[in-house]
Amino acid sequence: MITPEEEKFIREHAFLPEHILSYGMTISGLEPFLTEGFLYFSREGENLVFIGYRLDQPPDPQKMEEALCGVVASRHPAQVAILAPSIPSACGPPVGKDHYYSLDLTRLTMSPKVANMIRRASRGLKITRGRTVGPDHLALIRAFCESRQIDQDTRTIFQRIPAYLEASPTAVVFTARDRDESVVAFDIADFWANHYAFYMFNFRSLRHPFPGASDFLLQEIIAEAKLREKSRINLGLGINAGVTFFKTKWGARPFLPHESVLWRRNPPSFFESLLRGLR
């Protein structure tokens, strides 16, 4: 398990959503550990989720592979989920490649187009902040899952959102409601780390879309992050062209490569994993 001193260290250096202890524990169902500056979640003889981004140093493939091999040798996992800037060749080809996007709050400038979208949205929406999700929020999550081809691992992630919120006192639900009090969109952000805020989830109503709702919500997250003296927001992965466009129009830039794989030690095979949902 993580000691109090290790938790302070992680909190000081965390820059990924997967570094948030409450999130990683809730989503994986495993216990957190720290080795050589790398965070991982494990239960001996079962599964292991290795976060291959050293907390206090730039990416170093050799050091990451050494730390990973040491953990695998000591923990004896049945399967290993790896999330890293690059996957070691011995673990097989990655199932996904992407980049994390970071928004520098110290240099943030809003484009006229984004500002106009927010003005329009603010005329018809109000945003509230809370710590839980209710039936309206869960309905948006279900509608999202039903409208897309989503793998079971990602569905499990979404199903565990209420448990994650309960476990994380630093997670905040930002909800946009229209004049009829209907939830048209909501975001979840987490402010656990000392220097980073994290854009965890965004869901929008497919039945009642409201232009600018997501921009309005992100503006509120930015305001909260500044209030809490965060210097950056990790907006997560690019995922697809539409999501990438939304993030880059705010000035976010790719700052870390992302690859993932699930490695079964015996027999060896590779396939998509829970780490697809840890985005």
In angstroms, what CA-CA distances link 273 with 34, 45, 151, 152, 278?
A: 22, 18, 9, 9, 9
Are both 152 and 67 inside the same structural domain?
Answer: no
Are both 163 and 151 inside the same structural domain?
Answer: yes
pTM over 0.95: no
Are both 173 and 222 inside the same structural domain?
Answer: yes
pLDDT mean across residues, the chain: 93
* pLDDT single digits (tens) 87-111: 998 888 998 799 999 999 999 999 9
Q: What is the mean pLDDT of residues 242-249?
A: 97
> Of 46 and 139, which is predicted with more confidence?
139
**Alpha-carbon span 243 to 26, nearest angstrom:** 25
pLDDT of residue 1: 86
Q: How many domains does the chain divide into?
A: 2
What burial class does residue 103 get, using C-beta atoms within 10 Å of its C-beta: 0-12 exposed, 13-18 middle, 19+ buried? Answer: buried
Are both 67 and 175 inside the same structural domain?
Answer: no
CATH of the domain at 270: 3.40.1350
Q: What is the mean pLDDT of residues 253-273?
A: 72
Q: What is the mean pLDDT of residues 117-127?
A: 97
Are both 69 and 134 inside the same structural domain?
Answer: no
Question: With 90 as the cut, is the pLDDT of residue 267 above it?
Answer: no
Are both 25 and 127 inside the same structural domain?
Answer: no
pLDDT of residue 151: 82
Question: With 70 as the cut, is the pLDDT of residue 271 above it?
Answer: no
In angstroms, what CA-CA distances link 230 with 42, 104, 111, 158, 259?
A: 30, 10, 21, 26, 26
pLDDT of residue 266: 58
> pLDDT confidence of 218, banded at 50, 70, 90?
very high
pLDDT of residue 46: 84
pLDDT of residue 273: 39
CA 93 to chain centre: 23
Are both 171 and 241 inside the same structural domain?
Answer: yes
pLDDT of residue 268: 43
Are both 250 and 162 inside the same structural domain?
Answer: yes
Are both 34 and 143 inside the same structural domain?
Answer: no
**Alpha-carbon span 158 to 150, nearest angstrom:** 11
Are both 34 and 130 inside the same structural domain?
Answer: no
> pLDDT confidence of 270, banded at 50, 70, 90?
very low
Question: With 50 as the cut, is the pLDDT of residue 75 above it?
Answer: yes
Are both 239 and 179 inside the same structural domain?
Answer: yes
* pLDDT single digits (tens) 223-234: 999 999 999 999
CATH of the domain at 213: 3.40.630.30
Question: With 70 as the cut, is the pLDDT of residue 272 above it?
Answer: no
Are both 64 and 153 inside the same structural domain?
Answer: no
Question: With 60 as the cut, is the pLDDT of residue 208 above it?
Answer: yes
Residue-range definition of the domain harbouring residue 132: 103-255
What does the DSSP assignment read for 11-64? HHH--SGGG-HHHHHHHH-SEEEEETTEEEEE-TTSEEEEE-S-TTS---HHHH
